[in-house]
Amino acid sequence: MLELIAQFIRDHFIRSRHLNATRLVAGSFAAIILVGTLLLALPISARSGESQGLFTAFFTATSATCVTGLVVTDTFLTWSGFGQAVILLLIQLGGLGFMTVITLVSLAAHRRIGLSERLIMMSTLNLNDLDGVVRVVRHALMGTALFELVGAALLSVRMIPKYGLLQGLWHALFHAVSAFCNAGFDLQGGDTGPFSSLVGFQADGLTLLVTATLVIIGGLGFFVWEDCLQHRRWKGLTLYSRLVLTLTGVLTLGGAVFFLAAEGTNPATLGAMDTGEKCLNALFQSATLRTAGFNVIDQGAMTDNSIVMSCILMLIGGSSGSTAGGMKTVTVWVLAMVVVTGLRGRESIVFRGRTLPARRAMNAVTLFLMVSFLFVTGSMLISLTHEATFLQAAFETASALGTVGLTTGITPTLARPAQLLLAVLMYTGRVGILSFSIAFLNRSRDSLNIKYPEFSIMIG
């Protein structure tokens, strides 16, 4: 059955002359959300046996497919085992990307991957050429299965004694997939209360460290995995991989130090914990802001400085070609290089004896301006439609746009127009930014041969 579906999609969509990579990505995510909405709207998907309605199903399906984690109802208390399985499938499809799953079916059926599929895979994974694209996808699928299963096995050490064998294994698998795909969905509502996430594991180093590790690995990107697998030495890695690993480490550890300093004396968050727990939870808070969405402290009780820093980290997100969202780490590094180069009065961005193409810098600036506009506009609209401070609205907007899933607690209480706006921002944050990246990549292959006379204007 899966093979027939994959063949139909290849013949009528992937190889269609009317669809390019950008439209295919946007359309595939929309189709997955539509199917997920219909499935979650069924009575069998609800724990109560009564349909939760189209809007709740739509919001949940959008959040799961866009690997965000924002919800209007608690996942465990609302959805049955069938509904939870649907959500988990949506998370996996959204995290890996629809084209990657189609490739998996083709590989399992021993079918040849055509040029159209290779070109689209190259675009969706942000690769620069066709060389080894099928190998990268194969290793990505194998790595995903390995990390998720190992993570589930480690989490089951805590989940099985807590919930029993079968329920414990399901909880462990659900949380492992959700963490690796940077989704942030959890099943802890029945244990520690609705919308509690991982608050019950504040003192559990194993659960928090395993979850944080899965989040970080999932946010590195498939290309970095492949590079590390091939070279296995720091000096042998590409410049991009070294930048990703360095920036990920700096942002994660730097964020942990910041939250430890900013929230260490706040009795509503980290203040009541001992030193070891403070360090552990500060590190987890920094890691989960890489678009994961799990929380161990009350986000609404944080200081204003911490909320602002959280918004910044959420908008940065993970790395290109990964399960994470946001503007991406290297994009922010390019923006910093643009600023430094401008302050030095230079025209070209030079790093370690190499020049960054001007079009790459322009792409980074364009993406930054687009995300900034959506962030400010969304924050203003939510603050106008709900009795919340602008900072709370900004937090929710950054969480949706960066596909993070953290909330100060106002998401379930928002008016329908505001919740619909969050759903649009989640889709835009996952699909829109990815589509823009694909468009940039496709455009960069064509050189502009026509040169026009220059003009000068005053800046500043």
Domain count, the chain: 1
Name the band, by pLDDT with cuts 50, 70 and 90, for residue 459: low
What is the average pLDDT across 283-295?
92
Is 142 part of any domain?
A: yes
Residue type, 147: F
Is 428 part of any domain?
A: yes
Between CA 70 and CA 336 the distance in angstroms is: 30
More confident residue, 120 or 244: 244
Give pLDDT, residue 256: 96
Give pLDDT, residue 429: 87
Helices within 237-274 (DSSP H only): 239-263
pLDDT for residue 195 is more than 80: yes
Is 401 part of any domain?
A: yes
Do the bridges between strand 354-356 and strand 349-351 make them parallel or antiparallel, or are there none, so unpaired? Answer: antiparallel
Give pLDDT, residue 392: 92
Is 382 part of any domain?
A: yes
DSSP codes, 267-330: TTTTTTS-HHHHHHHHHHHHHHTTTT---SS-GGGS-HHHHHHHHHHHHH-S-TTSS--SS-HH
Name the band, by pLDDT with cuts 50, 70 and 90, for residue 277: very high
Is 452 part of any domain?
A: no
pLDDT for residue 395 is more than 60: yes
Rounded percentage of the chain residues whose pLDDT exceeds 90: 53
CA 396: distance to chain centroid? 15
Residue type, 352: R
Q: Which of 67-81, 89-103, 349-363 has the highest mean pLDDT?
A: 67-81
Name the band, by pLDDT with cuts 50, 70 and 90, for residue 76: very high
User: Which pTM was predicted?
Assistant: 0.87
Name the band, by pLDDT with cuts 50, 70 and 90, for residue 364: confident
Give pLDDT, residue 37: 96
Name the band, by pLDDT with cuts 50, 70 and 90, for residue 2: very low
Between CA 377 and CA 246 the distance in angstroms is: 32
Is 456 part of any domain?
A: no
Between CA 49 and CA 279 the distance in angstroms is: 43
Is 8 part of any domain?
A: yes
List the domain range (segments joined by +) for residue 346.
2-443
DSSP codes, 437-455: HHHHHHHTTS---------
pLDDT for residue 209 is more than 50: yes
Is 454 part of any domain?
A: no
Tens of pLDDT, residue by residue over 294-303, are: 999 999 999 9
